[in-house]
């Protein structure tokens, strides 16, 4: 093997190939990361979380887009959704208390005529909560256009009408999120996941299955369509691991 080092002590470092970005997300198929150095930032002095609940996902999606386009500086805008029509939009502000209060006033003004309630910060880790519960559930990571947030939720309600698959999700307003699907049969799970993936890919997004029952994994492609990138990814794999001994079959296309 070959020992390689990448990166530097300064942020602007363009010497050599950017190996750390190549290895990030490769799931061990290109090499073994033996040492990593991280740049740390101080924790914020104050954290303020505002939450709005409503039945109409399109209203919340419009509010999320307006906040993205505003001068409000948030550290997160998150939609918490589930199949029982309980929809919440969470806005997280971090910094000095005076700054948070000023930003919160702008958020409340943008949210009119609705009222944003201040909630405990522990309400934020909705993504981690999706992994709790039975192993028969499927957890997926999705990407989507920010303008498609409301449409994605509406379609999920249609695909998972009463008596079908139960679902819940944590969707970030900038276009990345996580969904959890549950059903007694793998056929229903597969049907819902495939419908969601088809819609997302048709609008430039994606769906990756992060966790699923073994029966479903054997029948469903975890990655979905990767476009024309697969031949290039195979060539990179051949250069870094010509004998195919690093995590074989773990990545896209059986890499």
User: Residue 46 is inside which H or E element, if any?
Assistant: strand 46-54
pLDDT digits (tens, 9 = 90+) for 211-233: 998 889 888 999 998 889 899 99
> What is the separation of C-alpha 49 from the centre of its chain, rounded to a whole number of angstroms?
20
d(CA 58, CA 77) in angstroms, rounded, equals 15
pLDDT over 70, % of the chain: 92
Q: What is the mean pLDDT of the chain?
A: 87
- Least-confidence region, from 33-47, 116-130, 189-203: 116-130
CA distances for 245 relative to 1, 242, 255, angstroms: 11, 8, 10
Q: Are 39 and 8 in contact (CB under 8 A)?
A: no
pLDDT of residue 173: 93
Average pLDDT over residues 138-144: 96
Quick: pLDDT tens for 66-120.
999 999 999 999 999 887 767 889 999 999 999 999 999 999 999 888 888 888 7
Enumerate residues 6+ apart whose C-beta is below 8 A from 58: 150, 154
Name 153's Cβ contacts closer than 8 Å, sequence gap at least 6.
57, 61, 79, 81, 87, 171
Q: Decide the pairing of beta strands 166-172 and 87-95.
A: unpaired
SS3 category, 172 = strand
H-run or E-run covering 67: helix 57-68
What would the mean pLDDT of 250-255 be, rounded to a whole number? 90
Peptide bond into 89 cis (omega under 30): no
Q: What does pTM read for this prediction?
A: 0.87
Are 172 and 77 in contact by the 8 Å Cβ rule? The answer is: yes
170 three-state secondary structure: strand
Which residues, in sequence order, are bridge partners of residue 117? 51
Q: Per-residue confidence at 238, pLDDT binned at 50, 70, 90?
A: very high
Give the three-state DSSP class for 181: strand
139: cis peptide before it, omega within 30°? no
Distance between CA atoms of residues 203 and 132, nearest Å = 30
């Amino acid at each position: 093997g070959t020992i390689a080092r990448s990166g530097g002590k300064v942020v602007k470092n363009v010497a050599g190939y950017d190996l750390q970005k190549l290895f990030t997300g490769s799931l061990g198929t290109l090499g073994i990361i033996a040492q990593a150095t991280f740049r740390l930032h101080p924790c914020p002095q104050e954290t303020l979380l505002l939450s709005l609940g409503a039945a109409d996902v399109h209203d919340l999606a419009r509010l999320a887009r307006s906040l993205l386009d505003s001068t409000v500086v948030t550290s997160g805008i998150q939609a918490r959704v589930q199949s029982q029509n309980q929809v919440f939009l969470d806005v997280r502000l971090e910094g000095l208390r005076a700054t948070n209060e000023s930003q919160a006033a702008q958020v409340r003004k943008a949210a009119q005529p609705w009222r944003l309630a201040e909630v405990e910060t522990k309400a934020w880790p909705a993504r981690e909560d999706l992994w709790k519960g039975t192993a028969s559930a499927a957890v997926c990571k999705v990407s989507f256009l920010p303008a498609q947030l409301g449409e994605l939720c509406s379609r999920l309600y249609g695909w998972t009408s009463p008596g079908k698959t139960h679902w819940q999700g944590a969707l970030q307003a900038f276009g990345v999120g996580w969904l959890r699907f549950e059903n007694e049969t793998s056929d229903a799970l597969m049907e819902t996941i495939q419908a969601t993936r088809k819609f997302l890919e048709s609008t430039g997004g994606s769906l990756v299955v992060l966790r699923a029952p073994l029966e479903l994994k054997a029948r469903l492609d975890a990655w979905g369509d990767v476009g024309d990138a697969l031949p290039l990814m195979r060539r990179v794999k051949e250069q870094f691991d010509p004998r195919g001994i690093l995590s074989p079959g773990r990545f896209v296309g059986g890499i």
